[in-house]
Amino acid sequence: MAGSVPRVDLELAPKLFAAVHAAISQGLVRSCHDLSEGGLAVAVAEMAFAGGIGADVTQSSGGGLPDAVKLFSESTTRFVIEAEPQSAAGAGVVFRGFAVRAGGHHRIRRPIADRRGQRRVGHLG
């Protein structure tokens, strides 16, 4: 795909990195992956491989972007963050204010279980 090279938002990036660090330091994040190499699809796949499970991903409608852009965009300052259900509210507080930027955010709605019954990766949408 042709297009412009992603540029770092020098105002947003340090604030977002500080929020990610704070959430990790507070024990709210089970796992985190940036979207810099392959976008959302690759990050979710790598997280699932690392956990030895699959992932059931449903994308939100709207946004006006082609599916390939939503799934493989390597825009800067984007992350997939996994949190346990009991940590979701706390993580939401830490990330309040970062909700919608260039395509928005997705929240894990329904975790799915692997063969061992462990809840890991859920639907995005």
Tens-place pLDDT, residues 78-117: 888 888 888 888 888 888 887 544 334 455 444 454 444 4
Question: Does some domain include residue 32?
Answer: yes
For residue 64, the model assigns a pLDDT of 75
pTM of the model: 0.72
Question: Does some domain include residue 118?
Answer: yes
Question: Does some domain include residue 6?
Answer: no
- The answer to whether 43 and 34 have CB atoms below 8 angstroms apart is yes
From residue 22, how far is each of 16, 91, 99, 105, 118 by CA, in Å?
A: 10, 9, 16, 19, 26
Question: Does some domain include residue 1?
Answer: no
Question: Does some domain include residue 57?
Answer: yes
Tens-place pLDDT, residues 41-80: 898 889 888 877 777 666 666 567 788 888 888 878 888 8
Domain count across the chain: 1
- Mean pLDDT of all residues in 24-52: 88
**CA–CA gap between residue 60 and residue 57 (Å, rounded):** 10
Question: Does some domain include residue 111?
Answer: yes
- The answer to whether 32 and 80 have CB atoms below 8 angstroms apart is yes
Q: Which domain holds residue 33?
A: 12-124
Question: Does some domain include residue 46?
Answer: yes
For residue 108, the model assigns a pLDDT of 45
